[in-house]
A and B are shown apart, each in its own frame.
Chain A
Amino acid sequence: MNGITIAWLLLPLLAAFLAALLPVIGRFAVLVTCLGTGAMALAAQQSWLPASLQLLGPLGITIQPDVLAAPFLLLNALVCAAVLLDGWGRPSREAWPLLLLVLHGSVNSAIVAADLISIYVALEVVGIAAFLLLVLGGGRRQVWLGLRLMLVSNTVMLLFLIGCALLYLEQHSFALAAVGQSGGLVLALLAVALLTKAEVFVAGLWLPRTNAEGPLEVSALLSGTVVSAGVVPLLRISAEAVSLLPVLRWLGIASAAAGVLLALLEPDLRRLLAWSTLAQMGLVVILPAVGGLYALGHGLAKAALFLLARHIPDPALAGWRQRPLAPRLWWPLMLASLSIAGLPPLLGFLAKEQLSSQLPGAAGWLVAALGAGTVAVYARIWGPPLATLSTPAGSPHGIAHADAGATPAAATGATVLVGALVLLSASPWVLPLWTAMDPQELAGAMLKSASVFAAGLMLHRLLHASASAPVSAPVPAPAWRPQLEGLDELLGAIVMLAAVLLALLGWQA
């Protein structure tokens, strides 16, 4: 099995080299590698693979294709394949499948890597691939967005390297196990880098602008898979370092609260989705045991929503209810957003239920309250009626409006992702979790979910009582909102986060 694991890790990168020589095979190579990753995810979930694989001795490379990695691998495979399929009919640049291969391969490596240096290398490659995907074929705006992202990510990776160096000085090892015995400074430096990569709290503030103005397929990749490259190492480290857990929990909850609040105030669909990513990633890092499932449910749905947003010409949420959506957009949109909000039979519900039932005390209630906030956020995009049902056949105006500027091809990628989401909700993958709950528990969870939905919808009514009236001009952004997303603010926020983490962890140690 070791040979297969290593071959699978190398496959995307070799395929990228081949695709550079023979551009014809690029797209098929992406599909093949995604299939391979899916198979590996299954194997990891079933523990068919060695849980830990050490190459070149104790100071060498450690790979852990374990149960923790499995949902993230599956997510990476599905999202990359869906993004590729979504753009299949459109002419794309020759470098696009190649970069997708590199991104896919490096995210795979980041997910299974279990020593700090391998994680560093994988994360840097992820950063470079994301930068190139963002910049590819774009104008000045996209170059600036990519440059911002790269500057921020490289700065935090330098902090990560300092953390590695100090860890080696203390423990003579780069293994994750050594992180547990290390001091607060090392933990703070490593955590701030990974939090930025995982788009949690203030460190994730680069996300909304990048997602709103960059190409949407790249946004789907960023929100779907690139975050998992930061989350998995973070979860692995928090499993080793006990002192990091409470800090991560409260940071996660703060991130979720801030994300929900900002999403509620946001007038733009794409930015709303991005703020919601910030909130959901906060919930992912709260509990390492549930993080994988939660990230899988969220990543699939969010990538689908971003791919759908490409077919929606006007991302302004003002007047959203007056614009009917075609059924091929409406159904995936509703299913994906309902899953994130946590509607019972869907994967999102299961993840939310696991999260709130395993969290102790006040944190569990806070998460439930944030769930209501999430419902209120997504209630904002449940407005548009289904075009074929609500508009008579005699007036195709509504459909034409919704489709203006969209490609005639169906939203393939989003359909694939939402299909996978629905299938997964009942698949053997999560079946043990369903059967583990006895009927009474299940009924309680349903009741809780229903009350969360009711509270969320009520909140939505309260906030947007006037939104049902037709609005012609877009609502101006509230003037009091501080400017959060400039490059200087981003860098300042990261330095401040590092200082706060240092104070918290140093104080605990």
Chain B
Amino acid sequence: MTAFRLLELLVLIAVLAGLVGLLRHRNLFLKVLAMDVTSTAVISLFVLIAARDGLITPILHGDTPVVDPQAALAYADPIPQAVILTAIVIGFSVQALLLLATTLLASRDPTLDVAELDEPEAAGPRAGQP
């Protein structure tokens, strides 16, 4: 249990590190990367939860004794793994879209400073429109 707590703490630190990076970095690219750090931490949280009781792959074979409380305890929990697989795919596609949009923005303004990107409309809300 203590190992679980320790790992949980590490995940928490990673989540917070990602959030702090997201808040503090002025560069958009670094912000997107910081979000990825948080995302990875969330994935590891799910993996950790799946493995809290055991590590054995939860697949029964023909010769596995089905009712064996000792063995049943050592199986990993398949539900969080299945769920996080979906979330990984979604997170990956969102990350790809964000990086694509960042690339589009970078072609015009390579500094990618968030304050600057927020700037122009503060000067004139409809400046860009005909």
Q: Using a CB–CB distance below 8 Å, which chain A residues touch chain B?
A: 59, 117, 120-121, 124, 127-128, 131-132, 135, 139-141, 143-144, 146-147, 150-151, 154-155, 158, 161-162, 164-165, 168-169, 174, 209, 212-213, 268, 315, 483, 485-488, 491-492, 495
Contacts of A131 in B (CB 8 A): 97
Q: What bracket does the count of chain B residues touching chain A fall in?
A: 35 or more
- Between A and B, 23 residue pairs with Cβ closer than 8 Å are A117-B83, A120-B87, A128-B97, A139-B128, A140-B105, A141-B121, A147-B102, A151-B32, A158-B42, A162-B45, A165-B46, A213-B121, A213-B128, A483-B122, A486-B114, A486-B118, A487-B114, A487-B117, A488-B23, A488-B115, A491-B23, A495-B19, A495-B23
- The answer to whether A168 and B79 touch (CB under 8 A), given A128-B97, A147-B98, A158-B38, is yes
Most buried by A among B15, B102, B125, B128: B125
Name which residue of chain A comes closest to B12, CB basis.
A162
Contacts of B115 in A (CB 8 A): 486, 488
Name which residue of chain A comes closest to B115, CB basis.
A486
Asked if B86 is at the interface (CB within 8 A of a chain A CB), the reply is yes
User: Of A117, A212, A315, which contacts B86 at CB under 8 A?
Assistant: A117
Are A161 and B102 in contact, with the CB atoms below 8 A? no
- Output the least CB separation between A291 and chain B (Å): 27
Most buried by B among A131, A141, A147: A147
- Output the least CB separation between A359 and chain B (Å): 36
> Given A124-B94, A165-B49, list of 6 further CB < 8 A pairs?
A128-B93, A161-B46, A212-B125, A315-B126, A486-B115, A487-B117
List residues 74-88 of chain B with CB under 8 A from any CB of chain A. Answer: 79-80, 83, 86-87
Contacts of A315 in B (CB 8 A): 126
- Output the least CB separation between B86 and chain A (Å): 6
Q: A161–B52 Cα gap in the complex (Å)?
A: 18
Are B97 and A151 in contact, with the CB atoms below 8 A? no
Contacts of B108 in A (CB 8 A): 140
- Output the least CB separation between B1 and chain A (Å): 13
- Output the least CB separation between B13 and chain A (Å): 13
Asked if B35 is at the interface (CB within 8 A of a chain A CB), the reply is yes
User: Of A158, A209, A483, which contacts B39 at CB under 8 A?
Assistant: A158
Contact residues of A: prevailing secondary structure: helix
Contact residues of B: prevailing secondary structure: helix
Name which residue of chain A comes closest to B121, CB basis.
A213
Q: A37–B79 Cα gap in the complex (Å)?
A: 32
- The answer to whether A154 and B23 touch (CB under 8 A), given A165-B42, A213-B125, is no
Most buried by B among A127, A143, A209: A143
Q: A124–B90 Cα gap in the complex (Å)?
A: 7
Are B45 and A121 in contact, with the CB atoms below 8 A? no
Q: A240–B91 Cα gap in the complex (Å)?
A: 28
Name which residue of chain B comes closest to A405, CB basis.
B130
User: Of B32, B86, B101, B126, which contacts A143 at CB under 8 A?
Assistant: B101
Query: B39-75 interface mask toward A, CB cutoff 8 Å, 1 = contact, 0 = none?
Result: 1001001100100100000000000000000000000
- Output the least CB separation between A481 and chain B (Å): 12
Most buried by B among A121, A124, A151, A165: A165
Are B83 and A164 in contact, with the CB atoms below 8 A? yes
Contacts of B46 in A (CB 8 A): 161, 165
- The answer to whether A492 and B23 touch (CB under 8 A), given A168-B79, A174-B83, is yes
Contacts of B91 in A (CB 8 A): 154
Contacts of A147 in B (CB 8 A): 28, 98, 101-102, 105
Are A144 and B105 in contact, with the CB atoms below 8 A? yes
Name which residue of chain B comes closest to A147, CB basis.
B101
Contacts of A486 in B (CB 8 A): 114-115, 118
Q: A155–B98 Cα gap in the complex (Å)?
A: 12
- The answer to whether A59 and B105 touch (CB under 8 A), given A120-B87, A165-B46, A486-B114, is no
Q: A492–B108 Cα gap in the complex (Å)?
A: 27
Are B94 and A59 in contact, with the CB atoms below 8 A? no
Name which residue of chain A comes closest to B95, CB basis.
A154
- Output the least CB separation between B16 and chain A (Å): 10
Are A169 and B121 in contact, with the CB atoms below 8 A? no
Asked if B10 is at the interface (CB within 8 A of a chain A CB), the reply is no
Are B49 and A168 in contact, with the CB atoms below 8 A? yes
Contacts of B35 in A (CB 8 A): 151, 154-155, 158
Contacts of A120 in B (CB 8 A): 87
Q: A450–B86 Cα gap in the complex (Å)?
A: 53
- The answer to whether A150 and B125 touch (CB under 8 A), given A128-B94, A169-B49, A486-B115, is no
- Output the least CB separation between B35 and chain A (Å): 6
Are B114 and A143 in contact, with the CB atoms below 8 A? no
Name which residue of chain B comes closest to A270, CB basis.
B125
- Output the least CB separation between B69 and chain A (Å): 18
Q: A146–B101 Cα gap in the complex (Å)?
A: 8
Contacts of A209 in B (CB 8 A): 121
- Output the least CB separation between B18 and chain A (Å): 8
